[in-house]
Amino acid sequence: MMLPYEADVPMQRYPWANVLLIAATCSISLAAIANSDVFDKLALGQQQIPKYVLDFPILYDAPDHTRHYPVRYQSSGYFTYGFVHGGILHLAGNMLFLFVFGNAVNAKIGHVRYLVIYFLLLAASAAIQVRYLPIPLPICGASGAIYGIMGMFIVLYPRNEITCFWFVFYRLSEHFGTFEVSSIWIVLYWVAFDVLMLKLELAGNVGIHAHLAGFTIGVLITIAAILIRLIKSDDCEENLLEAVGLMGQWQEVK
């Protein structure tokens, strides 16, 4: 297993938007873990429990799985579900990735743009995930949007180094350490891991479709923004289009 924890990217401004986003997500997620009512209100998909079950306490033991009661996906839930998570580990993992990749993206594109794109990624990745659910289930977690931010990062900074922590369990012993690698490889590692889990049908309750949708949208948005000059690389930076030699060809076409 490989976990990134530091990105080598000089930042033009302090990433206040991403820091506030992480703080808000942590606060609300912890409140939702402690109080299921908060989770039910913010997650994408609320169960339509029949009124007779709510009115008669003797029937509270009736089955409450979503297979038995339909789930309603409210429009507001497409923007709020990313602020609640299924547990401490779910929250910690997502926030680690958002911290590593989101700070640099926020510092590059600005606070307002960053927040607008983040919420668009939340809604779009959830819309894709809902279409591929085998049964209606409530959805939580910001990973779809975070994969989108990761996609943006590798377009902006494909060769910048990411410091990663690795660990494996072998013969009942632990082996771990750290290493540095270009961002494009660590991001593609996690994308390939998701694709493998999807092909092997081992995704379980993980929103693999949201991950892949968010990543694809993040990559495409950033490439488009670079081509129309909404995002410009500094002299000391090299984006993905420049790294593969496509930026010069685009300028010739223009």
Spatial neighbors of 67 by CB under 8 A, at least 6 apart, are: 135
pTM, rounded to two decimals: 0.87
| b/e per residue 146-155 (b: at least 16 CB within 10 A) | bbbbbbbbbb
Q: Terminus-to-terminus CA distance in the chain, angstroms?
A: 44
| pLDDT class of 56 with cuts at 50, 70, 90 | low
Tens of pLDDT, residue by residue over 164-190, are: 998 887 766 677 889 999 999 999 999
Spatial neighbors of 49 by CB under 8 A, at least 6 apart, are: 64, 69
Mean pLDDT (whole number) for 125-131: 91
| pLDDT class of 116 with cuts at 50, 70, 90 | very high
Give dist(CA 21, CA 200) in Å, integer.
34
pLDDT tops 90 at residue 101: yes
Q: Would you say 129 and 207 are in contact if contact means Cβ atoms under 8 Å apart?
A: yes
Name all domains of the chain by residue range, CATH numbers in brackets: 2-157+184-253 (1.20.1540.10)
Look at residue 48 in the predicted model and tell me its pLDDT.
60
pLDDT tops 80 at residue 115: yes
